Structure 1
Amino acid sequence: MSNPLNLNDLNFFVQAVEHGGFSAAGRMLGVPKSTVSKRVAELESRLGARLIQRTSRSFTLTDLGREFLRHAQASVIEAEMAEAIVRTHLGEPSGIVRMTAAVPTAQFVLAEHLVELPARYPKLQLSLHVSDRFVDMVQEGFDIAVRSHQAPLPDSTLLQRRLATHAFFVVASPGYLTTHGEPKRPEDLTGHHAITAGLGDTRWRLTSKEGEEVEIAPKPVIAADEPMVMMKAAIAGLGVACLPTSVCREILTEGKLVRLLPGWTAGSITTTILMPHRRGQLPSVRAVVDFLAERISD
């Protein structure tokens, strides 16, 4: 009977694939690149099969390697869960939790709260990957993705947990209002200078607390598809903007922007946590999710 595979070797293989190479996996695991390479080579030798095609410039899985990866990832997660159950029984959550989020979500929704996470769970390490590109959570080994979206998320095999919904406020700087006047009704926005997400964004639909809807046509003077840029432009007095409360709340408190038409909003954006089913069962992942739900809830 052959000896069973070494679980550590499976972990070295999974980390090398999920982090795109031996060097990155070594940095994450705190071991030399040569150790990761050697252990993966020993795994391939024991299996009698090539899992990774590697040259000086490329690192790709073989067809067999891709199939092996799915089962190796499951084995590593099961081991993490077994360890986490014991650690949770003995005390607080621990281990590494890998999270991904888009730039605006990280800046305006997560940043102020995540700095408090180490105090809550000192044995837990959080790794946040910030990127606006599409991220395949399962393939790239992430435990949590935080998404801010206006349209409902498509159905998938991922677990979803809604954190909060933030309304869009109509805002402008005090200086802009001094020069151009403050709109008192939605119709008064027609012709006002506007900071929009695109130059084609020429129609705004506003909704009152009572459910009344009004469509108005401001005049775009600058467009940007990034909320930080839009907020800076509004503070500089370039025009009126529609910004979610997650972005403009602090600036409104400081008085750098003023909310116009307090009884009206311009839509909303929802922040949702997504998790692969198996990783979502890890006590460390659940601890982070519960922490965020507590801090970011409506």
Structure 2
Amino acid sequence: MDLLSAMNLFVRVVELESFTRAAAEQGVSSSAVSKQVAMLEQHFKARLLHRTTRSLSVTDIGDAVYHQCKRVLSEVSEAENLVAGLQGEPRGQLRISCNMTFGQQVLAKALPDFMARYPDVQLDVTLDDRMPDMVREGYDLMIRIKGQQLADSSLVARKLCDLPMFICAAPGYLAANGWPASPEELKQHNCLVFVHAENAHQWLVAEPGTSADPVEVDGDLKANNSVVVREAVLAGRGIANLASFLIADHVACGDIVPVFPRAAPDRLSAYAFYPTRDAATLKVARFIEFFESWLAEHIPQRLPEAGVEA
């Protein structure tokens, strides 16, 4: 038996309260997890878990062993990080959680460069718009899009980049429905809403010489994925407020145009979150440094002119 591996599986079963979820997370079968935990119980000569077909609970001895296993695994990780730090190269598994669209459209493009630079780091990436419990679910790093005001949290937040937002539409929609002459006229238009954005229904238009008060908007499409909204914009269905990384290529080829080209964009930001400053292991620190630099080169802070590449 690999004692450290069995300890790690036992810890994840306790934290996830499920053999099945622990197995899926670790990429092994449920029977393999069950066998490892049974071997661990044999090693300690004590029952660690109460298991039925419908429930799983930790025995008193199992709870004590769980906390000791956590401590041992943490010390092993610290030893590995110490060696890696002295050698100057990160190593080991890096578990990242990222929201869906940013993960698909941005993070996915950056990962191959990171893997080529740091071949001793193995990535485990989950794309999900829900907010995970990082400690319970075993993530090293979480990437999320937020406004300028962050909620109070026990997590450490590191800003990675600004994400300018542009109110935009297809030329065909504007030709058929008219071009809004002022932000207030957005209320007369079909505004397509990405519901997860913190500014979902209140769009800020900072035109030169005007007050930048938010405008309440509505329309016949609300979606929890901004790519869905973008596709509706491309189809001429309405006006949307979308991040530059989603529309820059379409603006360059003329399929989408900014509705208020002189306005300063509203901004969200991409943040990296990790549980505590002590958890900023070398692999986490290197990834944050890499991704921040990569984003500075690849996230457009303004829109290109039609026919000009971003």
Shorter-normalised TM-score: what interval? Answer: 0.7 to 0.9
Query: Which residue number corresponds to residue 3 of structure 1?
Result: none
SS at match of 2:219: strand
Structure 1 residues 34 and 219, CA gap change in structure 2 (3 angstroms):
closer
Confirm or deny that 1:253 pairs with 2:252.
Answer: yes
Structure 1 residues 211 and 73, CA gap change in structure 2 (3 angstroms):
farther
The alpha-carbon deviation at position 269 of structure 1 amounts to 1.7
Tell me how far apart the structure 2 counterparts of residues 142 and 216 of structure 1 sit (CA, whole Å).
38
Deviations 1:130-170 (A, max 9, x none): 22233110011110111112363322222211112212211
Q: 1:41 aligns with which of 38, 42, 45?
A: 38
The alpha-carbon deviation at position 67 of structure 1 amounts to 6.1
Query: Which residue number corresponds to residue 157 of structure 2?
Result: 160
Tell me how far apart the structure 2 counterparts of residues 30 and 196 of structure 1 sit (CA, whole Å).
37
Query: Which residue number corresponds to residue 267 of structure 1?
Result: 266
CA contact (8 A) 1:197 1:223 kept: yes
Letter in 2 for 1:196: V
Structure 1 stretch displaced more, 40-49 or 237-246: 40-49
Query: Which residue number corresponds to residue 96 of structure 2?
Result: 99
Query: Which residue number corresponds to residue 176 of structure 1?
Result: 173
Tell me how far apart the structure 2 counterparts of residues 273 and 246 of structure 1 sit (CA, whole Å).
18
Confirm or deny that 1:232 pairs with 2:258.
Answer: no
Query: Which residue number corresponds to residue 76 of structure 1?
Result: 73
The alpha-carbon deviation at position 292 of structure 1 amounts to 1.5
Structure 1 residues 252 and 74, CA gap change in structure 2 (3 angstroms):
farther
Structure 1 residues 178 and 117, CA gap change in structure 2 (3 angstroms):
same
CA contact (8 A) 1:98 1:128 kept: yes
Confirm or deny that 1:121 pairs with 2:118.
Answer: yes
Deviations 1:101-137 (A, max 9, x none): 2223322342222232221212211111122233110
Letter in 2 for 1:267: D
Letter in 1 for 2:104: Q
After the TM superposition, which parts of structure 1 deviate over 6 Å for at least 4 consecutive aligned residues? Answer: none
Confirm or deny that 1:108 pairs with 2:102.
Answer: no
Structure 1 residues 105 and 69, CA gap change in structure 2 (3 angstroms):
farther
The alpha-carbon deviation at position 185 of structure 1 amounts to 3.9
Letter in 2 for 1:294: S
The alpha-carbon deviation at position 82 of structure 1 amounts to 0.9
Tell me how far apart the structure 1 counterparts of residues 65 and 278 of structure 2 sit (CA, whole Å).
18
SS at match of 1:221: coil
TM-score, with length taken from structure 1: 0.81
Structure 1: runs of 5 or more not aligned: 1-5
Query: Which residue number corresponds to residue 221 of structure 1?
Result: 220
Letter in 2 for 1:127: D
The alpha-carbon deviation at position 177 of structure 1 amounts to 2.1
CA contact (8 A) 2:16 2:136 kept: no
CA contact (8 A) 2:98 2:125 kept: yes
Structure 1 residues 138 and 247, CA gap change in structure 2 (3 angstroms):
same
Query: Which residue number corresponds to residue 285 of structure 2?
Result: 286
CA contact (8 A) 1:87 1:94 kept: yes
The alpha-carbon deviation at position 280 of structure 1 amounts to 2.8
CA contact (8 A) 1:280 1:286 kept: no
CA contact (8 A) 2:9 2:22 kept: yes
The alpha-carbon deviation at position 98 of structure 1 amounts to 0.6
Instruction: Trace 1:197-208 onto structure 2 (pairs within 5 A).
Output: 197=194, 204-208=203-207
CA contact (8 A) 1:191 1:219 kept: no
Letter in 2 for 1:192: H
TM-score, with length taken from structure 2: 0.78
Over the aligned positions, Cα root-mean-square deviation in angstroms equals: 3.3
CA contact (8 A) 1:80 1:282 kept: no
Structure 1 stretch displaced more, 168-177 or 216-225: 216-225
Query: Which residue number corresponds to residue 142 of structure 2?
Result: 145
- Count of residue pairs brought into register by the alignment: 292
